[in-house]
Structure 1
Amino acid sequence: MSLDLQAKDRFFGQTVMEYIQTVPGELPNDAVGLWQIVPTGRQGFGLIGDDLSEFVRRCVLALLTHGAKPVVGGGGTKYDWILQPHYGETNEEIVDTVMKEWLASGAGDCDPGGLWFALPSPYVGSI
């Protein structure tokens, strides 16, 4: 199988390529969660298996390329988001670690309380 970048979302009509290119557009306003990406690929585009994995990989890489970093919610801290440096330093290291973790978890839909991607800001910290 090869990911069809021209496949259209059954709900919104966007192509896979358009979605990948526009997913970082949310970053200036809010973080983007892995829980948002996986169901879009699975339900919106009807992707499964290797195609779904490639879609998730490309979306995460697009977020990282636009400056996002892996974070989790900062509840109970002075930050909205907490950086997760254990994913790696380079974009390739981070996307590889994210993919390994997601695949090891069963490649299912993700929990909204799980991994997100946010631009560095005063609201993002480390503890």
Structure 2
Amino acid sequence: MGFIASHNHLYIDRVLEPYKLKGPMFAFLLTLSRWDGCSQESLARHLNLSKATATRAVRDLEGEGYVTRTRDRDDRRIYRVFISDSGRQLIPVIHKALSKWNGVLLSAFSEGEKEMFARLLDKGLATLEKFDIGSDTE
């Protein structure tokens, strides 16, 4: 699993390099394309990343003009993050890159194997989510 994830990161970083997207930045844009205006903290939680990683990624995305940050009107401690028009234009590019990667990864699988693989990954994810909820972080 780690080997697949490593290759995925290398591929995505290489394909998105012309757009100055690195690391989890593309995941932030994808999330914002669905939940525009969410807080930095909720972005970090949703993507299972630290607040520090979220802050760096959002700051870098803002520097490239892909997002804007504004303070919440009701709670000035909270930053709301909004995808910009130029950030929104990258969404199809990101989807195309992810689709190509998935096509390569699954190219030797039959249709039945692809369906089974997806079910097994979903089952593993559900198990991890239950573990995260019940795990003691102290």
Asked if Structure 1 and Structure 2 have the same fold, meaning a TM-score greater than 0.5 normalized by the shorter chain, the answer is no
Higher helix share: 2
Higher strand share: 1
Q: What's the TM-score, normalizing by structure 1?
A: 0.32
Q: Relative CO higher for 1 or 2, CA cutoff 8 Å, sep ≥ 6?
A: 1
Mark the structure with the bigger radius of gyration.
Answer: 2
